A = this chain, B = another copy of it.
Amino acid sequence: MENSDTFDLQLFLPYLLNQAAEESSLSFQRVYKDRYGMLRTEWRVLFHLGIFGQMTARDIGLRARLHKTKISRAVQKLADRRFITRHRSDADRRQELLELTAAGRTAYLNLRTIAERYQADLGTDFTKAELALLQNMLQRLAGKTGNKQR
Q: Which residues of A contact B (CB under 8 A)?
A: 1, 3-5, 7, 9-29, 44, 47-48, 50-54, 65, 112, 115-116, 118-119, 122, 125-126, 130, 133-135, 137-145, 147
Contact = CB atoms under 8 A, between A and B. Distances in A.
A138 B17 contact: yes
A47 B17 contact: no
User: Which secondary structure dominates where chain A touches chain B?
Assistant: helix
Most B Cβ at <10 Å: residue of A24, A54, A125, A139: A24
Most B Cβ at <10 Å: residue of A20, A119, A140: A20
Contacts of A118: 13-14
Given A18-B21, A116-B7, A137 B134 contact: yes
A30 to B, nearest CB: 11
A25 B20 contact: no
A130 B10 CA distance: 16
27 contacts: A3-B53, A3-B54, A4-B53, A5-B50, A12-B119, A13-B122, A14-B24, A14-B25, A16-B135, A16-B138, A16-B142, A17-B25, A17-B138, A18-B25, A19-B142, A20-B21, A20-B138, A20-B141, A22-B147, A23-B142, A23-B144, A24-B141, A26-B145, A26-B147, A130-B133, A133-B134, A134-B134
A130 B125 contact: no
A102 B33 CA distance: 44
